[in-house]
């Protein structure tokens, strides 16, 4: 409605302005023409007087032009109805205009006149002999004659106005379909999104700015939907991870409190409660750790690190477990490699990756750790020959609480947050991590850092 109103108003103003300008310029042109004819007659009169030549020129103006010309030797007659019937009381000029003629000034007027019963455009030219007014030439034309040429184009203008309105209405509908309707759909979808429903999408039917906006809106809705799904999944996973140890702890605690447990069993139950407490503590610690790493404000203590030495330090802590499981470890490290990073966090990364390799390797299966420098990069590779990971699970193993084997126990699978934490730490160091694996053949993890050039 607003577009239509503005369009109609614009066309109406344009039509009115066209009429006004036409009238203004055409009337001014006719006025100039009357003045020119009056000056020409005045020039003839000044040279010839009221001669036959002057009368012929006067007659020519009356017959061959749209104007009517009167010559009066007594300007007082212009203040009466002469040369018309004496019974007509209307005069051609008023007292003030007659005074202008007496002073030698040309008079121009536009007014309705009862003598000819219509509006007229008139010019009165004084004829002077020295300083004395000897006569006047009065030229006039009905304004109907002035407006008559406009009548022929008025209908054309009205038709053009109607055509413009039609085109404007059609264009307004098109604009509404391409602009307003998608915006209303976005408004409706945004209200549903505010209520928690992120499934609504906007149909994209164009490639212009509105189509781009609709695509961006759909991408936003998709991202929010994924965030909401991740949030729900996260809450479900946390609830599940907490529910099992808490149920163990509650069951064993109630059994102990009721006194139905032998002393030997009581010690066993207390040990289980302690283990579950440790598990909850690790879970809460990992959750807090991951939440901090996923935030933008977590500080990284960056410093130059002899990377091979860091790997040696972590391996030393795993020597006992490797020995207990009889797992051989092969190290091939570039001792000159230096990177910039947070030592504590990078130890956490390597410890987690080595722990996973050890956890899923059988007795006697080799674990290889290799570090090389090439093209300004330092590459750390941890390779085991254990169970391996299915191809369909590789892209998801860094997701929170994701376990490759859904049915495996938490003793074997940890909290499901380790690789998610590793991925966040690696990302915050501007590094890349990739996983390659084949079932029953093993898994290879590569972490690529920027090398630090030392002077």
Please tell us whether the domain made up of 2-149 is placed in CATH 3.40.190.10. Answer: no
Quickly state the pLDDT bin for 88 (edges 50, 70, 90).
Answer: very low
Q: Helix H segments across 176-262?
A: 181-194, 209-258
What are φ and ψ of residue 259, in 5° steps? 75, 20
Q: Report the distance separating Cα 221 and Cα 237, nearest Å.
A: 24
Residue 127 contacts residue 136 (beta carbons within 8 Å) = yes
Q: What is the pLDDT of residues 437-454, one digit of tens each?
A: 988 899 999 999 999 887
DSSP state of 386: S
- CATH of span 303-450: 3.30.565.10
pLDDT(407) > 50: no
Q: Identify the band that residue 307 occupies on the pLDDT scale cut at 50, 70 and 90.
A: very high
E-only strand ranges, 130-180: 132-142
What pTM, to 2 d.p., does this model score? 0.50
Residue with tokens 């002393």: 263
Instruction: Note the pLDDT of residue 84.
Output: 42
pLDDT in tens, 182-241: 777 788 888 887 777 877 787 777 777 777 888 888 888 888 887 777 777 767 767 766
Sequence spans of domains, the chain: 2-149, 209-294, 303-450
Structure letter (DSSP) for residue 376: T
Domain 2-149 and domain 303-450, same fold? Reply is no
Highest averaged pLDDT of the listed ranges 119-133, 236-250, 330-344:
330-344
| pLDDT for 115 | 60
- Taking CA atoms, 433 is separated from 302, 408, 413, 427, 449, in Å, by 19, 25, 21, 8, 9
pLDDT above 70 as % of the chain: 81
CATH number corresponding to 209-294: 1.10.287.130
pLDDT at residue number 86 = 41
pLDDT, tens digit (0-9, with 9 covering 90-100), for 35-69: 888 888 888 888 888 888 888 888 888 888 878 88
User: What pLDDT is attached to residue 219?
Assistant: 86
pLDDT top residue among 438 and 283: 438
Between CA 251 and CA 255 the distance in angstroms is 6
């Amino acid at each position: 409605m607003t577009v239509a109103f503005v369009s109609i108003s614009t066309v109406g103003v344009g039509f009115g302005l066209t009429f006004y300008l036409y009238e203004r310029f055409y009337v001014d042109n006719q006025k100039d023409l009357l003045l020119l004819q009056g000056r020409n007659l005045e020039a003839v009169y000044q040279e010839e007087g009221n001669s036959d030549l002057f009368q012929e020129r006067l007659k020519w103006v009356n017959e061959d032009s749209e104007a009517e010309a009167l010559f009066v030797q007594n300007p007082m007659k212009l203040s009466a109805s002469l040369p018309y019937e004496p019974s007509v009381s209307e005069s051609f000029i008023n007292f003030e205009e007659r005074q202008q003629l007496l002073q030698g000034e040309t008079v121009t007027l536009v007014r309705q006149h009862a003598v000819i019963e219509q509006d007229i455009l008139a010019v009165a030219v004084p004829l002077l002999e020295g300083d004395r007014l000897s006569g006047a030439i009065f030229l006039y034309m009905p304004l109907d004659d002035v407006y008559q040429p406009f009548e022929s184009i008025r209908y054309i203008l009205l038709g053009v106005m109607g055509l413009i309105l039609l085109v404007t209405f059609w264009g307004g509908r098109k604009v509404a379909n391409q602009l307003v309707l998608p915006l209303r759909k976005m408004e409706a979808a945004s209200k549903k999104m505010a209520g928690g429903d992120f499934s609504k999408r906007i149909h994209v039917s164009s490639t212009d700015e509105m189509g781009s906006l609709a695509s961006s809106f759909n991408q936003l809705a998709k991202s929010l939907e994924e965030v909401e799904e991740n949030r729900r999944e996260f809450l479900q996973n946390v609830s599940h991870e907490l529910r099992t140890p808490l149920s163990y702890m509650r069951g064993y605690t109630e059994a102990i409190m009721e006194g139905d447990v032998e002393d030997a069993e009581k010690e066993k139950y207390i040990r289980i409660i302690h283990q579950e407490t440790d598990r909850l503590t690790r879970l809460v610690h990992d959750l807090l750790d991951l939440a901090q790493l996923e935030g933008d404000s977590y500080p990284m203590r960056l410093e130059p690190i002899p990377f091979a030495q860091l790997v040696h330090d972590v391996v030393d802590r795993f020597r006992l477990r490797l020995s207990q499981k009889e797992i051989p470890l092969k190290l091939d490290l570039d001792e000159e490699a230096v990177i910039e990073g947070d030592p504590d966090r990078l130890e956490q990364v390597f410890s987690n990756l080595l722990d996973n390799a050890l956890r899923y390797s059988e007795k006697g299966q080799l674990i290889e750790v290799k570090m090389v420098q090439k093209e300004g990069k330092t590459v750390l590779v941890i390779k085991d020959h254990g169970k391996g990971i299915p191809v369909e699970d590789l892209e998801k193993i860094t997701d929170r609480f994701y376990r490759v084997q859904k049915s495996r126990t938490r003793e074997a699978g940890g909290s499901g947050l380790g690789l998610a934490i590793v991925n966040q730490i690696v990302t915050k160091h501007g590094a890349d991590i990739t996983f390659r694996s084949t079932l029953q053949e093993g898994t290879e993890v590569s972490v690529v850092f920027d090398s630090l050039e030392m002077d």
